[in-house]
């Protein structure tokens, strides 16, 4: 079975972890898989679907199995390893706050990660959870580039008059 180059997109929130896999061979990225773990720590439920809607996983876990985001990440990571035909070449992460230095997507390294950690107080329900999968991926797959895309990027490029009069 040939392995296809793909990108993993991750959106880690306070009680859910969403992900998508995009094939990138042959031009435009095409969504191949989307999934999410909802109810982390309360009523964990993992659903994974192909782009055509076919359900690959629909499993409810005991709350003791997925008590927090680290357990959810580990569960999804274990499932992703079953995809023999996927060759990850990049990981993209939604990050709420980029601070004053990051107004565009940026490749993540140790310096960038430390800069983003500083902004946890500005988005305490999201920023720590956004950074957790980044740290894990840096440890597990250090050779795969990771990119952070910021919510604050959207607001940074708006016209000032829209903030004053909207």
Q: Look at residue 22 in the predicted model and tell me its pLDDT.
A: 97
Phi, psi of 20 (to 5 degrees): -145, 150
Of 70, 143, 136, nearest in space to 107 by CA: 143
Read off the CATH number of the domain in which 90 is found: 3.30.420.40
| pLDDT tens digit at each of 166 positions of the chain | 688 999 999 999 888 999 999 999 888 899 999 999 999 999 999 999 999 999 999 999 999 999 998 999 999 999 999 998 999 999 999 999 888 888 899 999 999 999 999 999 888 888 999 999 999 899 989 999 999 999 887 666 667 666 566 5
Q: CB-hemisphere CA count at 13 Å for 33? A: 21
* Catalytic option among 23, 85, 103, 151: 151
Domain housing 83: 4-165
Q: Look at residue 125 in the predicted model and tell me its pLDDT.
A: 86
Clarify whether 121 is annotated catalytic. Answer: no
Our count of domains for the chain comes to 1
Q: Please say whether the beta carbons of 17 and 76 come within 8 A.
A: yes
* Paired sense of beta strands 86-95 and 4-12, if any: parallel
């Amino acid at each position: 079975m040939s392995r296809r180059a793909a990108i993993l997109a991750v959106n880690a929130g306070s009680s859910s972890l969403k992900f998508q896999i995009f094939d990138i061979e042959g031009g435009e990225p095409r969504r191949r898989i989307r999934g999410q773990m909802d109810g982390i720590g309360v009523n964990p439920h993992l659903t994974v679907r192909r782009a055509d809607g076919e359900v690959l996983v629909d499993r409810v876990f005991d709350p003791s199995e997925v008590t927090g985001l680290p357990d959810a990440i580990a569960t999804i990571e274990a499932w992703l390893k079953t995809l023999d035909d996927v060759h990850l070449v990049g990981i993209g992460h939604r990050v709420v706050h980029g601070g004053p230095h990051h107004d565009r997507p940026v490749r993540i390294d140790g310096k960038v990660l430390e800069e983003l950690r500083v902004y946890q107080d500005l988005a305490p329900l999201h920023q720590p959870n956004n950074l957790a999968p980044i740290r894990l991926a840096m440890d597990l797959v250090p050779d795969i580039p990771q990119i952070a895309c910021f919510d604050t990027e959207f607001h940074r490029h708006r016209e000032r008059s829209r903030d004053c009069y909207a």
